Amino acid sequence: MMDQAAKTEHFLALHRGPGPLLLPNAWDRGSAALLTSLGFSAIATTSSGFAATLGRLDGGATRDEVLAHAAAMAASTSLPVSADLENCFADDPAGVAETIRLAAGTGLAGCSVEDFTGHEDDPIYEIGPAAERVAAAAAAAHGTGGGLVLTARAENYLHGRPDLADTIRRLQAYAAAGADVLYAPGLTRLEDIREVVASVERPVNVLALAGAPDVPTLAEAGVARISVGGAFAFAAFGALADAAREFREKGSYGFLAGARTGRDAVRAAFSS
């Protein structure tokens, strides 16, 4: 078992190739353990997937709930875990730094901070305050215990602002503020992704989305990390919904074939 500093250092090193780090997003201890058994090198949490386990929509979990979840996830696997901390539950840099300091005590190897305000009528922090928030997060992430790998997220494309030039300016500002990894979720055009990678001097994460380039193409474009967000969690919820509808509406048991696959995976993961 690596100590916390070694785990953080290892997590950052995984962003240096030779290919992209495939970072699956787990939503509970069981999914983290299963993904560990399947041979991934690190795991991330998902705010939307975790909120769904509470019967809420994305953004519906409190800071205390998210931090407790992060601690449980880090304890469920020997792999480095990076937590989706949303906007760090604060508008001001001091509040952001406090969330990061608390996260550093949970056993995580990394975490993220995003520039989404939480208000759809004014969704993105202005670039100056946004960079100040990243600087505070970076100072806390790098100055606490074994440290944390900080991912800074530019959320334009998820909130109706598909402005590539502004997104790149933001990512550059966040790199200058001390972020270790840069992430603009929502990008799907290969030419846009190539431009982002060429415009920054930090590892870039791309979110797997419908219409996005596949892993080999992203690797060729220089992408350092690929994550799935809430997709795995919602695939599981979707399978549950399909099985329940079949059982209730058709009275048939076709879902048992998928259940057998899941049971075998769980047995293999949890018996080791």
pLDDT at residue number 185? 98
Distance CA 92, CA 57 (A): 24
Asked if residue 249 belongs to a domain, the reply is no
CATH number, residue 111:
3.20.20.60
Residue 241 within any structural domain of the chain: no
CB 162 within 8 A of CB 187: no
**SS3 of the chain: helix, strand, coil, percent, to 5:** 50, 10, 35
Q: What is the residue-averaged pLDDT of the chain?
A: 97
CA–CA distances in Å: residue 264 to residues 17, 55, 208, 257, 267: 32, 27, 26, 11, 5
- pLDDT score for 27: 98
pLDDT digits (tens, 9 = 90+) for 44-67: 999 999 999 999 999 999 999 999
Q: How far apart are CA 78 and CA 75, in angstroms?
A: 8
117-157 pLDDT per residue, tens:
999 999 999 999 999 999 999 999 999 778 999 999 999 99
**Residue 116 lies in domain:** 4-230
Angle at 69 between CA 52 and CA 228, to 5 degrees: 55
Burial class (CB in 10 A: 0-12, 13-18, 19+), 244: exposed
Q: What one-letter code names the amino acid at 229?
A: G
Assigned domain for 267 exists: no
In a domain, 167, yes or no: yes
For residue 119, what are its two tokens? 């208000």
pLDDT at 272: 66
State what percent of residues in the chain have pLDDT above 90: 96
* In contact, 63 and 89? CB cutoff 8 Å: yes
Q: Is 187 part of a structural domain of the chain?
A: yes
Measuring CA to CA, which residue among 90, 68, 79, 64 is closest to residue 31?
Answer: 79
Write the DSSP symbol of residue 109. Answer: S
Radius of gyration of the chain (CA): 19
Report helix, strand or coil for 206: strand
Q: Residue 245 falls within a domain, yes or no?
A: no
**For residues 202 and 176, is the Cβ–Cβ distance under 8 A?**
no
* Residue listed under structure tokens 């202005």: 126
pLDDT, tens digit, for every residue of 105-121?
999 999 999 999 999 99
- On the question of pLDDT at 210 being above 90, the answer is yes
Average pLDDT rounded to a whole number, residues 62-75 = 98
Residues 12-36 have pLDDT tens digits of: 999 998 999 999 999 999 999 999 9
Mean pLDDT of 181-210: 98
Count up the domains in the chain and report the number: 1
Residue 1 confidence (pLDDT): 63
H or E element, residue 217: helix 215-220
Q: Identify whether 255 is part of a domain.
A: no
